[in-house]
Structure formats: structure tokens, C-alpha cells
Amino acid sequence: MCGIACVIRTILNRHLNGNSDVSGSRCSAASECESEKASAVLAELARLSPSLQRRGPDGTHCTNTSTAHGEFDIGFQGCVLHLRGEYTSQPMQDHDSNTLLWNGEAYAGVDGLDNCANDTAAVFKALQKAVAAESTLEAHLDEHRRQRAAIARVLSDIRGPWAFVFWHQAHQRLWFGRDFFGRRSLVWRKHIGRNNALVGVDLASTAPPPAASAAPGSKSIPNGDNMERSWEEVPATGIYYIDFARVPAGAHASIATGQNENADNAIGMRLEHVPWCAPTSACATSDPASDGPALVKPVGDFNATLPPPASTGQDGPLTGDGAEAYASTVENVRIN
């Protein structure tokens, strides 16, 4: 069990406080995060840090970056509880600035796993390999669907509980979510700005106490009527991603001035959903006409109703006396 957090803010938050760009800065402890007021995301991570460190007491690190157009700042923090393999600090980051936060236990489904392997490193390597190779997979799909297929394939194969956040620098996409059963916690808080536009997202393993959710008198999200929304569980119905490459240059200016009345165009930040589907389901295939391949469920679909006894020939679910008789028959078979 580790503590992970990711904070996304528009650059308006930085400008509002008279702060400068500190893209790529890094801090190794909560106290250093607190002192780095040059970034709104690092300040928010500092408020989340005490709750995260209770889940991961063996080490804490944070880092932040900006999207390619400079429209958003993204901060990452990982607090590690070391259980297996060589100690690996989080967030993990490679020379291409791809970044992983991982709270989970991968028991199988990932190359390089054994009793002494660190599953965080193994999962990161699998994701790195997937996004590097996705250009050669599903050639009939466009780039967007190919990466979706590559990420979905890696996560579908993992056996064990997990919650993750993965930033792919080259394609400017942030991926996050939980396993099919939701066995690792991940909560989010969405910040809504002008025209109901999504201007910020906070992700964390656990929500902080109410007093730590925001600094007294702070105005972290301008033009928003719901600046401090309640924390909610990230649904375990699939994974999510935000494609920042689709954010038009100068989107933050539209938010500030209200010149663009269309919420999607005004901010360009939109949550995309990749659902879990049964292996035989059409949404688990590489259909060019669909949004792309989905995650494959680790279990099959369950019956929503009892099937009728074969002897009755009745169609549809049983009701009344028929249902009671069938239930009694099933019970007798189980006992005998």
C-alpha cells in the first residue's frame, strides 16, 4: 500500500499568485514541497502529503511538469511502503519524462516478475515498452487508438490489485484508474471553472482532512463556483485519460476573458473513458469504427437473472411459484 497523488492545474493558477514557471523542478520531501511555492501544484501536493505519508512511510518524492503548450501544470507525488524487491522511489521517471505512480501488487501478467522483483519497476517497464511499440501494433487504427490498445493490453494482463497514474510525455496524455474490482483506493476532485469547463483535477490515494483541502483564504481556481468540490472515488468501471495534445494554444486566455462560450473549446480538457469489457464483447476488439480496444475483464459476465428450468421451456426470468420451485430444485441439487 503506497500513497500517490497527481494534481492538474491551468497556468492561470500560477499567474494568479504571481508565480513563475518551474517546470521540471523536483523536491524530495514534504517540507521541500511546502517551500516550493513557485508552483500551485506543488503547494497542493504539500497539503496532500501528510495523508499520503501515512500510507507510504518509507520515502516520499514529488515532481512537476508543464504540458507542451504550457496551458497546464501537472504535479506528481509518491509515498512508498516498500514490500518487495529493490526499493524504488516514486514517482518513477525515465529519460523521456514518462512518469508512473503505482499503488498495487502485480502477482502475474507482467514480464520480469519473480519473488524478488519490484512490481512498480516491472509495470513501468511494461508501459514504456507498450507506448514505444504501439506504432507497430494494430496498423489499421490511428495513433490515438493504437496507444489506447497498447495501454489497455498491459493493464488487462496484470493480475492483482492496483491503482495507477501514468504520464506519457511524447503524446501528452495522462492515464489513471483502478483495477476491475477496485481493490486499491483512488479518489478524485474535479474543479469546475467558467462555462462549466473542467479546469483542474486532483487525484490521490486518500482524501485529506477537510481543513487540509485548501489553504485558508486561497483562491486556487479562478472563475469557479465550485472551487472545492468533495472528493469521490474514481469509478472502477475502467481507466481514464486526458489528452492534453488536444488543448488549443491560448485556451487559458479564453477561460480568463470568457470570450469562448463553448466549455470544451474554452478549456479543451476532457476526461476520456476506457471501459472494462468481456473477452467476447465487441468493445474488446480492434474495431476502427469504435473508440478503440477496451480493457478485458479478468472474469466473465454474471447472470442478472436465474435461467428457467429446461423442462418448462419458459422464456425470460421466473417469477412467483415458478421461481420458488426452481430455487428449491437448485438447493436440493447443491445439498445432494
Condensed to tens digits (0 to 9), the pLDDT of residues 119-152 reads 899 999 999 998 887 555 555 567 778 888 889 9
Residue 249: Cβ-neighbour burial (10 angstroms; 0-12, 13-18, 19+): exposed
Give pLDDT, residue 77: 94
Q: Is the pTM of this model over 0.85?
A: no
Instruction: For residue 57, give the nearest of 67, 49, 66 by alpha carbon.
Output: 49
Matching residue, cell 487508438: 145
168 pLDDT higher than 80: yes
Give pLDDT, residue 188: 95
Work out the average pLDDT over 239-245.
Answer: 93
Give pLDDT, residue 245: 86
Structure confidence by residue, pLDDT tens digits, 37-47: 346 888 889 89
177 pLDDT higher than 60: yes
Give pLDDT, residue 317: 57
Work out the average pLDDT over 68-94.
Answer: 85
320 pLDDT higher than 90: no
What band does 240 get if pLDDT is binned at 50, 70 and 90? Answer: very high
Q: Using CA of residue 183, residue 296, residue 141, residue 129, what is the dihedral sign?
A: positive
% of the chain residues with pLDDT over 70: 64
Work out the average pLDDT over 167-183.
Answer: 94
